[in-house]
Amino acid sequence: MRRGENSLGFWVSSLVFLIVFLLSIFLVVYGFSKTDLILVFLLTLASFAGFWEVLVFGLLAVFLMNWQPWINLEMVMLLILPLGVSLGHRFLPGRPFLQSFFINFSGVLIFYIVLGVPRILSNLGLFLSFVPVDLVFGAIIFLVFRAYSRRNY
């Protein structure tokens, strides 16, 4: 995997974003629980794409996911976490796949810790049930991005 700027095509990222966005909606429509697919997508993308591309997709995610007329903590986190990963992932040790796994786990954990530890503690079972799902989706998105990156670089 080539790290750094623009190792992933913008159109590939757009297509994966569209699929992930639709999947996150249809999973709920068809009776499954909510997921953090968009957050995981952005966290994974941040290891492949450049800062500006992550910012574009972060803002697009905020536009589509915000459920209030004002900016709230969740949307700030949705934007800031991937940008932080984009700037700092190259300093992480380990293989890219494990890095991505660690980034997704830490990102989801930080996201919910910031929203309120009591919420996690009073719903520990639920939390422990959706975090692995997020990680599996993160791994799949990573493999898609890596496959595309390898083919082109």
Partner 1 sequence: MKRGYLGAVILILVLVILILFSPGSGWKIRSFLEGRYSSKGTNEVILENQSLKSELLLLKNVEDILPKWKADYVPAMIYSQYPFNLKDEILLGAGKNHNVDEGGVVVLSVNQNANSLTSGGVLVGRIKAVMDNTSLASTIFDSEWRSEVKIGDKGVEALLQGGIKPKLTLIKKESDVKDGDLVYSTDSRFQFGIPLGYLKGARLASDHLLKEADLDLGYDLGQIQSLLILKKP
Rounded CA-CA distance 7/26 in Å is: 30
Distance separating alpha carbons of residues 52 and 89, to the nearest angstrom: 15
Instruction: With contacts defined by CB under 8 A, name the span among 48-56, 90-98, 135-143, 145-153 that binds partner 1.
Output: 48-56
Quick check: 76 binds partner 1 (CB under 8 A)? no
Q: Which of 1, 19, 55, 144 binds partner 1 (CB under 8 A)?
A: 55
CA distance 112 to 106: 10
> Per-residue contact track with partner 1, 5 to 34, x per CB under 8 A?
-x---x-----------x-xxx-xx-x-xx
Identity of the amino acid at 19: I
User: What b/e readout covers 109-143, taking b as 16+ CB neighbours within 10 angstroms?
Assistant: eebbeeeeeeebeeeeeeeeebbebbbebbbebbe
Number of residues that bind partner 1 (CB under 8 A): 43
Q: Which is nearer to partner 1, 64 or 147 (CB)?
A: 64
3 closest CA partner among 49, 55, 56: 49
Q: Does 126 bind partner 1 (CB under 8 A)?
A: yes
In the region spanning residues 96 to 125, those forming contacts with partner 1, defined by CB under 8 A, are: 111-112, 115, 118-120, 122-123
The residues of the shown chain that bind partner 1, judged by CB under 8 A, are 6, 10, 22, 24-26, 28-29, 31, 33-36, 38-39, 52-53, 55-56, 59-60, 62-71, 74, 111-112, 115, 118-120, 122-123, 126-127, 130
